[in-house]
Amino acid sequence: MVNVIAEKCRGCTKCVKACPFSAITMEGKLAVIGPSCTNCGVCVDVCPFNAIEKTDEETRTVDISAYHDVWVFAEQRDGKLMGVSIELLGEGRKLANDIGCKLCAVLCGENVDHLIDELFAYGADKVYYANKPELKTYNTDAYTKTIYEAIAKYKPEIVLLGATHIGRDLGPCLAVKCGTGLTADCTKLDIDPEDKKLMQTRPAFGGNLMATIVCPRHRPQMSTVRPGVMAKPQRDDSRKGEVIMLNPVFKEGDIRTKVLEIVKSVTEHVSLTDADVIVSGGRGLGGPEGFDLLRQLAKKLGGVIGASRAAVDSGWIDHAYQVGQTGTTVKPKLYIACGISGAIQHLAGMQESGYIVAINKNENAPIFEIADYGIVGDLYKVIPAIIEELDKLEASVV
């Protein structure tokens, strides 16, 4: 255990700078050791006043029994809840039931009170709500400070975040502040029936290897979860719960980045994770105009278009359409892969689809390995033929 001897500390901040874990902060003229301290003792050596002592106890372990409840970061943008946060409430409910604890949501924003009832409707028992102008849009420092302080005060045992561009920024910052671990991009979460530990499963090597990860001695156990992987729960507007206000105080220097502007992409809105049908194109399209044909088919099926990394890298389509390990993970009812060879990174992002149809000139393309139905042929001939058949089907129904 490392302690600061208050009478000897002169507030020189040498220990703050030397701490490899950023565990020391200054409170006025006094160094204070925070929860991310690992007893490494670097501060003991650098202190010129011998004001820090290390007592040889057993290695510090967090009292994990002090931590309760499952928390979900309720990510909102422009006052709208992100789909992944709703999915996490569904998953969080399952985990909370298995542990026998409460499910809570943490909501940050400015005047987003209308989301509280929505969070209850999707299963939250409690909502921790911070309503501040500084939290109107996502900001790393402001959100980290707010949620870290809430975690330190209320001690959740599990914290789940969506693996969005925001969740993947906030998660790591929070984990370091809390001195705990974080597992990225989980696709499966379970509770160990014996010791109630969170078992976090994530793909590695493009989904060809799965790893189950635990965080046995630190709390909270934190995961980011890929959007589109977990099922959304049923909405029940009769559900109610408890609201607990968080009141972060922001001082000068607490928020070190300034968002000057938010630019929405001018391209059509792509909601790959919500689509039932995705018609996706790859290198085999040969050029950007191929997507016009895919759009026709997608429209016919009430779906949207997607793309492989090869098509995005060729500059044929915006990266917002990219399906795969570095793009979006999708799980539509029907996925039609056109001119996509099926690199493992792509497969990792779509192999959970209900039905997979592959259209490719090359009969040896790996995509056929995972396809439910495969057609070897020129997509510029095959797709118009499919559209024609769909027209016939429509005509027969009417």
Partner 1 sequence: MRIIVCAKQVPDTNEVKIDPVKGTLIREGVPSILNPDDANALEAALTIRDQNPGSTVSVISMGPPQAMYMLRECLAMGADDAYLLSSRAFGGADTCATSTTLAAGIRKLGKFDLIIGGRQAIDGDTAQVGPQLAQRLGIPVVTYVQKIREIKDGKVIVERQLEDGFEVIEVKMPCMLTAVKELNTPRYMTIGRIEEAFTKTITVWNENDVGLRPESCGLKASPTQVMRSFTPPPKGKGEMLTGTIPEMAAALVKKLSEKHVI
Is the separation of the CB atoms in 166 and 144 below 8 Å? Answer: no
Among 214, 243, 286, 296, binds partner 1 (CB under 8 A): 214
- Pick left, alpha or beta for residue 242 (phi over 0 → left; psi -120 to 50 → alpha; otherwise beta): beta
Q: Which is nearer to partner 1, 24 or 51 (CB)?
A: 24
Residue 393 interacts with partner 1 (CB under 8 A): yes or no: yes
Q: Which is nearer to partner 1, 122 or 200 (CB)?
A: 200
| Those residues with Cβ within 8 angstroms of residue 138's Cβ, 6 or more apart along the chain or in another chain | 75, 77, 166, 169, 170
Chain position carrying tokens 């029907």: 334
Residue 79 interacts with partner 1 (CB under 8 A): yes or no: no
Is the separation of the CB atoms in 371 and 356 below 8 Å? Answer: yes
Among 109, 123, 156, 171, binds partner 1 (CB under 8 A): 171
| Chain residues 262-281 in contact with partner 1, contact rule CB under 8 A | 262-265, 269-270, 277
CB of 69 to partner 1, least distance (A): 19
Residue 334 interacts with partner 1 (CB under 8 A): yes or no: yes
Question: How many residues line the site for partner 1 (CB under 8 A)?
Answer: 100
Residue 236 interacts with partner 1 (CB under 8 A): yes or no: no
* Angstrom distance (rounded) from CA 157 to CA 175: 13
Q: Which is nearer to partner 1, 126 or 180 (CB)?
A: 180
| Those residues with Cβ within 8 angstroms of residue 177's Cβ, 6 or more apart along the chain or in another chain | 36, 144, 148
Q: Which stretch binds partner 1 (CB under 8 A): 48-56, 67-75, 102-110, 349-357?
A: 349-357
Chain position carrying tokens 């671990």: 181
Residue 18 interacts with partner 1 (CB under 8 A): yes or no: yes
**How far, rounded to the nearest angstrom, does the alpha carbon of residue 370 sit from its chain's CA centroid?**
26
Q: Which is nearer to partner 1, 99 or 277 (CB)?
A: 277
Among 146, 164, 280, 329, binds partner 1 (CB under 8 A): 164
CB of 17 to partner 1, least distance (A): 8
CB of 33 to partner 1, least distance (A): 15
Residue 350 interacts with partner 1 (CB under 8 A): yes or no: no
Residue 250 interacts with partner 1 (CB under 8 A): yes or no: no
Is the separation of the CB atoms in 21 and 40 below 8 Å? Answer: yes
* Angstrom distance (rounded) from CA 126 to CA 72: 10
Q: Which is nearer to partner 1, 126 or 360 (CB)?
A: 360
Q: Which is nearer to partner 1, 245 or 397 (CB)?
A: 397
Residue 34 interacts with partner 1 (CB under 8 A): yes or no: no
Hey, is 280 helix, strand or coil?
Answer: strand
* Angstrom distance (rounded) from CA 111 to CA 132: 8
* Angstrom distance (rounded) from CA 160 to CA 149: 16
| Chain residues 293-322 in contact with partner 1, contact rule CB under 8 A | 301, 319-320
Among 92, 123, 156, 207, binds partner 1 (CB under 8 A): 207
Among 76, 85, 146, 180, binds partner 1 (CB under 8 A): 180
CB of 41 to partner 1, least distance (A): 7
* Closest alpha carbon to 95 in 225, 203, 5: 225
Q: Which is nearer to partner 1, 85 or 183 (CB)?
A: 183
E strands, 28-142, in order: 30-33, 52-54, 70-74, 76-77, 80-81, 103-109, 126-131
Cβ neighbours of 194 (radius 10 Å): 6
Residue 256 interacts with partner 1 (CB under 8 A): yes or no: yes
Q: Which stretch binds partner 1 (CB under 8 A): 86-94, 140-148, 153-161, 233-241?
A: 140-148
| Pairing status of strand 158-162 against strand 70-74 | parallel
The DSSP annotation for 149-179 comes to: HHHHHH--SEEEEE-STTHHHHHHHHHHHHT
* Angstrom distance (rounded) from CA 32 to CA 134: 26
Q: How far is CA 350 from CA 274, 280, 313, 356, 366, in A?
A: 13, 10, 19, 9, 14
Residue 136 interacts with partner 1 (CB under 8 A): yes or no: no
Among 93, 94, 218, 331, binds partner 1 (CB under 8 A): 218
Residue 3 interacts with partner 1 (CB under 8 A): yes or no: no
Residue 356 interacts with partner 1 (CB under 8 A): yes or no: yes
Is the separation of the CB atoms in 125 and 242 below 8 Å? Answer: yes
Q: Which stretch binds partner 1 (CB under 8 A): 13-21, 121-129, 244-252, 283-291?
A: 13-21
Residue 210 interacts with partner 1 (CB under 8 A): yes or no: yes
